[in-house]
Amino acid sequence: MRKRLAVLVAAAMCLVLVAFLVPLAILLRSVTADRAVTAATAKAQSLTSLVATADAVTLRPAVDQLNTSCDNQGSAPGRGLRHPEPPKECGGHPVTVFLPDGTVLGAPTPRTPGVALAAAQGSSLTVEDAGGREILVAVQGLPRGTAVVRAFVDHAELTRGLGAAWLVLAGLGVVLLGLGVFVADRLARSIVRPVHELAAVSRRLAEGDLDARARPGGPGEVRSVAAALNLLAARIRDLVRQEREAVADISHRLRTPLTVLRLDAESLRDPAEAERITAHAESLERQVTALIDQARARDSAPGSCDAVVVVRARAEFWSVLAQDQDRAVTVSLDDGPLPVAVGEPELAACLDALLGNVFAHTPEGTAYAIRLTATAGGARLEVADEGPGFDFDDVSRGASGAGSTGLGLDIARQTARASGGEFSVTRGPGARIVLDLGKPLGMP
């Protein structure tokens, strides 16, 4: 945007400068030429009175001296001939006198058509020539006809000093253009800087920094956007806080039925059964506690854990239920430690959700497998079963074909993405869910 504004101003200024400097350059050329022509005309007219009264013998020295002196212009013919200063080369305005009897005095030059026309009409003319301009002054009243005084101005004299003037104009145009672009860049910077700050604040909000706020600055429209973004950030913070409080409140409400469940388990007559149910209740209570801590945590760094330890513990936990349902279980774990950028409660809840789906949506006796392998980016966790599978359209919508809400897959997806990894479901016999978990920050 900054470059575009600078280019736009530069283009507009170029048009303005061209519209201003080109006519001015033409005017300078016209003024320079008119000045040279005026000087040559004055030079020729200074001889008219002498031509009208003197003979050729008297006139010749005056014309020769006029061609070599630049100080006679505008002076009386008699006084100009006796100028005390030494003659100086005039150059550029050679004067020639064509008398009616054919005598030519001064600078030698052939009789041109312009001279003949001026003599015939008895009027003064200015004629363009291949090498410059002819200034022709007719002198009437002579016994034998009309004499013509010719002063010639060449192209060098017509354009004397014009190149330097044009260079000054061009330099002035470049300076004005540079100044205009500089001012436009400063103005564009004052507009673009607040926009970049808005983008930076938006990125911070997207990364989870809900305290990020934009500083109002720049034009009124940009300040309005900054104010709206601040209101949006405040609203997002309030919504997140309300959601966390709601989740924490729901989790707290679960504590009462969990306590009742534990008391009922302790009252069972079979000690083994009571111990098993009590262990399940305690596991569920730990998950609820972890959910409360996670819901109330703010701006905390992502957790980490040893995936091998967590996966082995959850696989052993579910293996008891798998034996009761005659399910074949395959557990394949790489050697640890295998650190991943997921907290232990989150990874355990993720694996519990996936294995819970297996037990809830496949018939008893269906085998499943758990594989944990090391990768260059962290670790890969796979949970596969030999059940009937599910509809991929339902998966994309966060629902399952068995009537559940599909939160198990959603938890797994969020866990993978929170670690910087990916989540995928492979089509085929049964279901195969793959989580690529990233490494903790700072690990090679």
pLDDT tens column, 348-376: 888 888 888 888 788 888 899 999 998 88
Any idea which residue has 């790489």 for tokens? 334
Question: In this structure, is the dihedral angle defined by the CA atoms of residues 245, 246, 248 and 253, taken in order, positive or negative?
Answer: positive
Beta strands 104-106; 145-154: pairing state: unpaired
Closest CA to 327 of 356, 357, 365: 365
Q: Is pTM, for the whole model, over 0.95?
A: no
CA 373-379-380 angle, to 5 degrees, is 65
What percentage of residues in the chain have a pLDDT greater than 70? Answer: 83
Over range 134-143, report the average pLDDT: 87
CA distance readout (Å), 85 to 34, 58, 69, 128, 269: 28, 21, 10, 34, 145
| Confidence at residue 285, expressed as pLDDT on a 0 to 100 scale | 72
| Confidence at residue 292, expressed as pLDDT on a 0 to 100 scale | 63
Beta strands 104-106; 95-98: pairing state: antiparallel
